[in-house]
Amino acid sequence: MTANDSQNRLGVSHILWGFDLSSFDRFKVFLDEAAGIGYEGIVCFDTTVMPWLDRADEFKAALKQRGLDLVGVILKPGLDYKGTDRLARFIAEAGGEFMILSGRCGTEEEWEIVIPALERHAAIAKRHGVKTVYHHHTGWIAETMEQTERLLADTDPEIMDAMLDCGHATKDFVGHSAAEYFRRNHERIHYVEFKDWRPETDLNTEVGRGQCDWPAVAQVLREFDYRGWIVVEQNFTTRTPKEAASESYHFIRDYLGFGGASE
């Protein structure tokens, strides 16, 4: 066990509770359970916040009532830039920090078309004071570490930041590791997702049960004094979402030492 780093706050994505929580009854269950576990922030998919886009104050109040903050919203990038403007405005008004670009947006052969489109989304977010990070991911235009670093080299650091997804790095960065990627690109990485992976359960794996080298990740985050959000995501569970998300939370807090003082 390591002394806890209180400068890192722990958040959680709602995907364990469902991809689309636009129904308030379902969203409320997620908020109550996330807060009850001890998480301090949430990440939502764009589908979930659609009913709230013109009610950011109400959305923020629902979170604050439970001691939660909005970390950011995941946007599947397309060509609806007006929609991006509306979403970025909502994120800012709701107190969020990040717009996370994540989705199939083209092939490597279409690189010269896709990269300017991604940058346009990022530029729109910046006008609202919202940071944009690109999510490296299986099947996306940047899947491998080489592709992801190419994307970083080809995008403007003034408008586009990077993130580390530990699960996808473990799965997709063949011959490399999550810790190596952070070490090489820490100046661009402002958002870290703690996700785990193993062949038997894919990305439906609680943090600490997969093949990610968590002590190495913890070491490199401390080495470079990472002070941002750490957000837990797990794609699916055969347990209850609360049970799975609680196990990941306690592994991160009690074993890795992130997220405030242990009880």
Distances (CA, A) of 166 to 20, 51, 61, 176, 257: 23, 31, 31, 12, 17
Does residue 262 belong to any structural domain of this protein?
no
Contact predicate 249/40, CB 8 Å: no
Please report which confidence band the pLDDT of residue 7 belongs to, taking 50, 70 and 90 as the band edges: confident
Does residue 5 belong to any structural domain of this protein?
no
Average pLDDT of every residue of the chain? 96
Does 262 have pLDDT greater than 70? Answer: no
**What confidence tens digit (pLDDT) does each residue in 245-258 have?**
999 999 999 999 99
Does residue 140 belong to any structural domain of this protein?
yes
Does 44 have pLDDT greater than 50? Answer: yes
Residue 64: which CATH number? 3.20.20.150
**What confidence tens digit (pLDDT) does each residue in 98-135 have?**
999 999 999 889 999 999 999 999 999 999 999 999 99
Does residue 263 belong to any structural domain of this protein?
no
Please report which confidence band the pLDDT of residue 19 belongs to, taking 50, 70 and 90 as the band edges: very high
* Residue 124: φ, ψ to 5°: -65, -45
Does residue 1 belong to any structural domain of this protein?
no
Does residue 2 belong to any structural domain of this protein?
no
Percent above pLDDT 70 for the chain? 96
Does residue 90 belong to any structural domain of this protein?
yes
Percent above pLDDT 90 for the chain? 95
Does 6 have pLDDT greater than 90? Answer: no
Contact predicate 182/217, CB 8 Å: yes
Please report which confidence band the pLDDT of residue 263 belongs to, taking 50, 70 and 90 as the band edges: very low
What pLDDT was estimated at residue 203?
98
Contact predicate 185/152, CB 8 Å: yes
Does 1 have pLDDT greater than 70? Answer: no
Please report which confidence band the pLDDT of residue 88 belongs to, taking 50, 70 and 90 as the band edges: very high
Task: Domain count for the chain, please give it.
Answer: 1
Please report which confidence band the pLDDT of residue 83 belongs to, taking 50, 70 and 90 as the band edges: very high
Contact predicate 159/132, CB 8 Å: yes
Domain containing residue 123 = 10-256
**What confidence tens digit (pLDDT) does each residue in 169-195 have?**
999 999 999 999 999 999 999 999 999
Does residue 261 belong to any structural domain of this protein?
no
Contact predicate 223/14, CB 8 Å: no
What pLDDT was estimated at residue 244?
98
Question: Looking at the DSSP assignment, which residues form a beta bridge with residue 210?
Answer: none
Please report which confidence band the pLDDT of residue 229 belongs to, taking 50, 70 and 90 as the band edges: very high
Does 261 have pLDDT greater than 70? Answer: no
Q: pTM value?
A: 0.96
- Write the DSSP assignment of 42-66 as a string of letters: EEEEHHHHGGGTT-HHHHHHHHHTT
